[in-house]
Chains A and B, each alone.
Chain A
């Protein structure tokens, strides 16, 4: 499990973006992010430029991981929902399947009830795509990759170039 990389192809990426975009609109949210549990941003919709998305992804993953640890300490499998209420903006964080985290930022133009309702529907759809991605990755790791990886020919020079040598 720990060894399987998360690989996202064009088709899946488009589907995820669509779902997130729809959720953002339906929930009257300011921004919606889909993040993976290791802190990488997968998709985003809404007024994305207003927020440092990379830090948000990493801190959300840290927050979820810490809450996960707390849940296990008291004998729960997980807390599937976190809600932070601010003066103006609120943060709704929920777990999607085994590896996804959905973050919805909303203000007084929406409500917690509406966000919860829309998130529930979107989570189901996202879960299906995550399942497909995982099944494909599992199949490929069992059978050997069906496509030529672009990284099969990384050279020392490629790596030196990254560091400006």
Chain B
């Protein structure tokens, strides 16, 4: 649910990074935080455990500039990936405008990826969204891992609606901005449609 303020001429959009535990959701937004112009980024808020696992969410506000005279601001959120935090994941999807699904390329994590997409579909539905129509991007992260599955294999298992699919190595920044850009494009195009 985009928030459009015609008085202050601002649009705020919420983009959520989703995916299984340790797939690199937090790494994606940490990299964006480090690279972004300090004047354009807000504070990175991380609600994490003592061992740096996401407990509730990470949050990063980003000022993107203007479109048609409106200031565009993205609010980036990550969900906790671990299976038992499902109640929290559901809450974070409230009012989201777009999803970035971060898949872990390691072969051993393929089942976790598939389960997480199924979980996303269920949680989106409970929030009144449809995974087949909401702005959605698939990021294939950790492409540098020796045990990474092939692209065609991952595509066959994880891609289900011809969504943009981007290869990434989030801890080196590869593909991180491209992924965000692909999501932003869809979210803004959705505004156009509405």
List residues of A whose CB falls within 8 A of some B CB.
1-10, 12-14, 36-40, 42, 52, 54-55, 58-59, 62, 65-66, 68-69, 149-154, 156, 158-159, 161-163
Contacts and interface: CB of A to CB of B under 8 A. Distances in A.
A52 B42 contact: yes
Nearest to B182: A159
A8 B6 contact: yes
Interface of B: 1-8, 11-12, 14, 42-43, 45, 47, 56-57, 59, 61, 64-65, 67-70, 72, 75, 87-88, 90-92, 94-96, 127-129, 177, 181, 184-185, 188-189, 191-192, 194
Contacts, number: 132
Given A2-B128, A62-B56, A151-B68, A38 B91 contact: no
B91 A65 contact: yes
Contacts of B7: 8-10, 12-14
Given A55-B45, A150-B70, A151-B192, A65 B6 contact: no
B4 A7 contact: yes
A55 to B, nearest CB: 5
Contacts of A42: 3, 5
Sorted from nearest, which 10 A-B pairs have the closest CB atoms? A2-B128, A38-B95, A13-B7, A65-B91, A151-B191, A40-B3, A10-B7, A150-B68, A162-B64, A5-B2
A5 B56 CA distance: 25
A40 B3 CA distance: 7
A58 B42 CA distance: 12
Given A66-B56, A69-B87, A163-B177, A58 B45 contact: yes
B30 to A, nearest CB: 16
Given A66-B56, A151-B188, A162 B68 contact: no
Nearest to A72: B87
Q: Is the interface of A mostly helix, strand, loop or mixed?
A: mixed
B88 A66 contact: yes
B1 A55 contact: no
A61 to B, nearest CB: 8
7 contacts: A36-B3, A36-B95, A54-B42, A54-B61, A158-B188, A162-B72, A163-B184
